[in-house]
Amino acid sequence: MSLGLLNEPQVQAGLAPFLAGFVVALLLFKLRLGGLAATAGFCATAWLIGELRFAPFTTNHKLMSVALAAPAVGLLADLAFRAGRTTAYVLGVAFAVGALWVFSSVLAPKAPVQVFTTGGGVVLFVAWTVALTASLHANSVRGGAVGLGLGLGAGFAALLGATAWYTQLGMALCMASAGFLLVQMIFGRIDAGLVFCLAAGVQGALLAAAALMLGNLGWTPLAILALVPLAARLPLPTRWPVWGQVVLASFYTAVCGSAAAASVYLASRGWPSWLQ
């Protein structure tokens, strides 16, 4: 691959994170560290677009700091103790508070009522999405599918409602999750753990919230994206092989993520009269 290709968006946000996620999952799944795939793809794209930095503390750099703190916390939790459902809820609340710090400079100039409504909405969205995604840490098929759906939805919604930066990082999460899921299709179930699910939940939620706070994304696509972790919980035939379950779970979440992007497109073109 020539160096010039590294500047192509389809390589930066598509091929590179997919390969990073696939290779990391392939090399580390026997060590039960395949869940680092999501972070590997996210970091690959961030590095290629020149955003793998944490200072000065602008909103984007604070977002990057919290997004990469998530897999570190998840890995520590995976190694230190057996996480339960309560762990996921506590982490959801903790990273929702982190989201307030990320967007503090955006909220500061607003009137108190706007701070309460907008900030409160973002906190609820992040807490819900992170908690429900993290609670899937023991089910690698469903957890990987959430990463794919959240990345797809946040990426395409940001393309229509925010900036290319959020689009590329959203698609990086989607493609890295696809690489992780492909390894599962080949070898069977592999561990996702909190290191994957917490990273996917936090990164997807923060990118979507950033598209709302800094772009033109509305609350409707955000509400639809919040359904992605629920879509991953739809029934999967237990007798199906792992690859079939991966395909079906990914279909569920991809449809939900695509619906969020479609709502942004419809809003930008004007809603049909029968929806008004």
Q: Which residues contact 158 (CB under 8 A, 6 or more apart)?
A: 166, 167, 170, 207, 208, 210, 211, 215, 217
Confidence of residue 75 (pLDDT cuts 50, 70, 90): very high
Q: Confirm whether 31 is domain-assigned.
A: yes
Instruction: At 222, list the tokens.
Output: 């955000």
Tens digit of each residue's pLDDT (9 = 90 or more) over 31-48: 889 999 999 999 999 999
Dist. CA 92–CA 6, nearest whole Å: 35
Residue 214 lies in a domain: yes
Does residue 29 sit within a domain? yes
Mean pLDDT of the chain: 88
Q: What is the rounded distance in angstroms from the CA atom of residue 141 to the CA atom of residue 234?
A: 12
Beta carbons of 232 and 241 less than 8 angstroms apart: no
pLDDT band at 275 (very low <50, low <70, confident <90, very high): very low
Confidence at residue 11, expressed as pLDDT on a 0 to 100 scale: 83
Question: Would you state the pLDDT for residue 54?
Answer: 66
| pTM for the full predicted model | 0.91
Question: Mean pLDDT across the stretch 204-227?
Answer: 88
Q: How far apart are CA 6 and CA 19, in angstroms?
A: 13
Joined together, the tokens standing for residue 80 give 């230190």
**pLDDT at residue 158, as a whole number:** 79
For the residues 53-81, what does the mean pLDDT come to?
87
First to last CA, the chain: 49
Question: Tell me, what's the pLDDT at 156?
Answer: 83
Q: What is the pLDDT of residue 183?
A: 96
| Average pLDDT over every residue of 68-97 | 89
Res 273: pLDDT: 42
Alpha-carbon torsion angle 178, 259, 8, 147, nearest 10: -30
Count: domains in the chain: 1
SS3 assignment, position 214: helix
Let me know if residue 1 belongs to a domain: no
The pair phi, psi for residue 236, each rounded to 5°, is -125, 130
Measure the CA angle with vertex 88, ends 250 and 83; round to 5°.
Answer: 100
Query: Does 43 fall in a domain?
Result: yes
pLDDT for the residue numbered 272: 46
Predicted confidence at residue 115, as pLDDT, reads 85
131-180 pLDDT per residue, tens: 999 999 999 999 999 999 999 998 887 776 557 788 899 999 999 999 99
| Cis before 56? omega within 30 | yes
Q: Residue 50's pLDDT band (boundaries 50, 70, 90)? A: confident
- Residues 182-186, mean pLDDT to the nearest whole number: 95
The average pLDDT across 207-234 equals 90
C-beta separation of 179 from 41 below 8 A: yes
Residue 112 has pLDDT above 70, yes or no: yes
Is 235 inside a domain boundary? yes
Grouping H, G, I as helix, E, B as strand and the rest as coil, residue 193 is helix
Q: Which domain holds residue 43?
A: 7-275
Q: For residue 241, give the 3-state DSSP assignment.
A: coil
Task: Give residues with Cβ within 8 angstroms of 38, minimum separation 6.
Answer: 21, 71, 147, 173, 176, 177, 180, 196, 199, 200, 203
Q: What is the mean pLDDT of residues 44-56?
A: 82
Alpha-carbon span 179 to 18, nearest angstrom: 5
8 Å CB contact between 150 and 225: yes
Query: Mean pLDDT across the stretch 194-214?
Result: 93
pLDDT in tens, 11-35: 888 899 999 999 999 999 888 899 9
Res. 187: pLDDT tops 70: yes
